[in-house]
Structure formats: C-alpha cells, structure tokens
C-alpha cells in the first residue's frame, strides 16, 4: 500500500519523506488554510522534493471553471494530480483532464456508485472518506471493501486512495482490504510505530542493561 501524506505542512512532509514514507501528498482547501500558505507556492515547494503524485484541489463548482483551474494547477509540476469533487461537474472535469493525460483524484466520495462513476470518467484515484462516514455511524471501511470488489470485478485501473484516515486501525484495515493508497495526517502515520508492549519491553531492557554496568560505546 502506498502512503500519501494528508497535509500541506512542508516540514512534516519532509520529515516523513526522509524516512522513505512518502509516496505522494494530498492537500485540500482546508489543509491549505491550515498551512497559511499560498496554494501555488506551497504546492510548488512540495513538488520540488516529493517524486510521487501531489494532489491539488480545484475550488470552482462549474466544469468549465474547474477545468481551467485544473489546468493551471497542473502547470505547477508534472506530478500534480488535479483533485476534483465528486459532483456531476467534477466528473465532467475528470473526463476532460484525464483525456489530456493528467492525473485526476476524485474526492469527497461516500458511496460505491460514486466510485463507479469516477472510474468510468477515467479517474486516476478515487478518494473515499472513511472517517467522515464513521462520524455519521456508517461504515467507512465497508465502502473501501465494496469499491475494491467492484473495481476488481471489472478490472478498473482507478486506484483506491483511502482518505479521512483518522486512526492506526483505519490504516491497518485499509491495507487488509487492499486499498491501493492511504492518505493520512503525519501524526497518524507516525503513531503507527507505537505499541504499549514496545514501550514496556524497552523500559525493561533499559533497566536490565543498567544493571550490567556495560557500555557499547
């Protein structure tokens, strides 16, 4: 499973990138707001060191305007994936931009039928939002499973990019279900390294080591 980092915080992306954990980046208008940066500038800075796809989201609502915004965002770097919402206009935009050979990430997906339409419109990535479905007592992971089944049934090439990943269990379950990509905030990716038994075991090793009176260096 590929790891995308869901942030526009350049420092946080760099830290994970140095560890080889970054296969791509996803941003959205809320994350751009959080960064306090200009969308073009910050996206260019990210694309300068991240080799994989970097999603930059359009904000227009009509296809014609979305297409123009998408083309402008795609000029930032060759690894830009234009992110469009899963609306009818977003699907039209997806069809046009993917036909021009650009990567398109169709976002705000909350149903298998939406994912089916995105695949037919030529999406490179479909972004089902797990956490936001869980928030309203629906099953986000069941959606990942359904999309996996449908895409495999018909050999769609659109990659499932599990989004709104909030917990380490979401991350593990996405991997078990065969999501192609997961995008998660840096804190979630980092907390995948944590385990209470690792901490406990290390504490005991440190105590025992101190009693040996030895040094390695």
Site for ligand G3P in 1-60 (CB under 6 A): 6, 26, 28
Structure tokens that stand for 20 in this block: 């080889």
Of 57-65, 78-86, 158-166, 193-201, the window that binds ligand G3P (rule: CB under 6 A) is 158-166
Q: How far is the CB of 128 from ligand G3P (least distance, A)?
A: 10
Task: Tell me how far apart the alpha carbons of residues 136 and 139 are, in angstroms, rounded to a whole number.
Answer: 9
State which H helix or E strand residue 182 sits in: strand 181-184
Site for ligand G3P in 73-112 (CB under 6 A): none
Scanning the structure block, which residue is given the tokens 């996996």?
Answer: 148
| Contact predicate 129/164, CB 8 Å | yes
Q: How far is the CB of 28 from ligand G3P (least distance, A)?
A: 5
Q: How far is the CB of 183 from ligand G3P (least distance, A)?
A: 5
Task: Please give the C-alpha separations between residue 133 and each of 7, 24, 33, 138, in angstroms, as whole numbers.
Answer: 20, 24, 23, 5
Of 88-96, 148-156, 163-171, 209-217, the window that binds ligand G3P (rule: CB under 6 A) is 163-171
> Pattern 175-194, binding to ligand G3P, x per CB under 6 A?
--------x-----------
Site for ligand G3P in 115-134 (CB under 6 A): 129, 131-132
Is the Cβ of residue 96 or residue 133 nearer to ligand G3P in the bound state?
Answer: 133
Annotated catalytic residues are 83
Query: Considering only CA atoms, which of 173, 171, 208 is closest in space to residue 193?
Result: 171
Q: What secondary structure letter does DSSP report for 53?
A: -
Scanning the structure block, which residue is given the tokens 């751009």?
Answer: 32
Please tell me the count of residues contacting ligand G3P according to CB under 6 A.
10
| Packing angle of the helix pair 140-154, 112-120 (nearest 10 deg) | 40
**Alpha helices, DSSP H, located in 9-77:** 10-18, 29-35, 39-47, 63-74
Of 33-41, 43-51, 59-67, 159-167, the window that binds ligand G3P (rule: CB under 6 A) is 159-167
Assess 166 for contact with ligand G3P (CB under 6 A): yes
Residues that bind ligand G3P (CB under 6 A): 6, 26, 28, 129, 131-132, 163-164, 166, 183
């Amino acid at each position: 499973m590929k790891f995308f980092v869901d942030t526009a915080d350049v420092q946080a992306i760099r830290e994970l990138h140095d560890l080889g954990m970054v296969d791509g980046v996803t941003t959205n208008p809320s994350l751009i707001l959080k960064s306090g940066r200009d969308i073009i500038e910050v996206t260019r800075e990210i694309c300068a060191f991240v080799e994989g796809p970097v999603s930059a989201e359009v904000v227009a609502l009509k296809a014609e305007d979305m297409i123009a915004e998408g083309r402008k965002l795609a000029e930032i770097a060759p690894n830009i994936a234009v992110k469009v919402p899963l609306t009818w206009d977003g699907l039209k935009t997806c069809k046009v931009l993917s036909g021009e050979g650009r990567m398109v990430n169709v976002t705000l997906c909350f149903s298998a039928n939406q994912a089916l339409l995105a695949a037919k419109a030529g999406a490179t990535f479909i972004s089902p939002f797990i956490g936001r479905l869980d928030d309203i007592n629906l099953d986000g992971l069941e959606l990942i499973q359904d999309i996996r089944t449908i895409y495999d049934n018909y050999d769609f090439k659109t990659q499932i990019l599990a989004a709104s990943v909030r917990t380490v269990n979401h991350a593990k379950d996405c991997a078990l279900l065969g999501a192609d990509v997961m995008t998660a905030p840096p804190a979630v990716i980092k907390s995948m390294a944590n385990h209470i038994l690792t901490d406990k075991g290390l504490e005991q090793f440190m105590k025992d080591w101190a009693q040996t009176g030895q040094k390695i260096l």
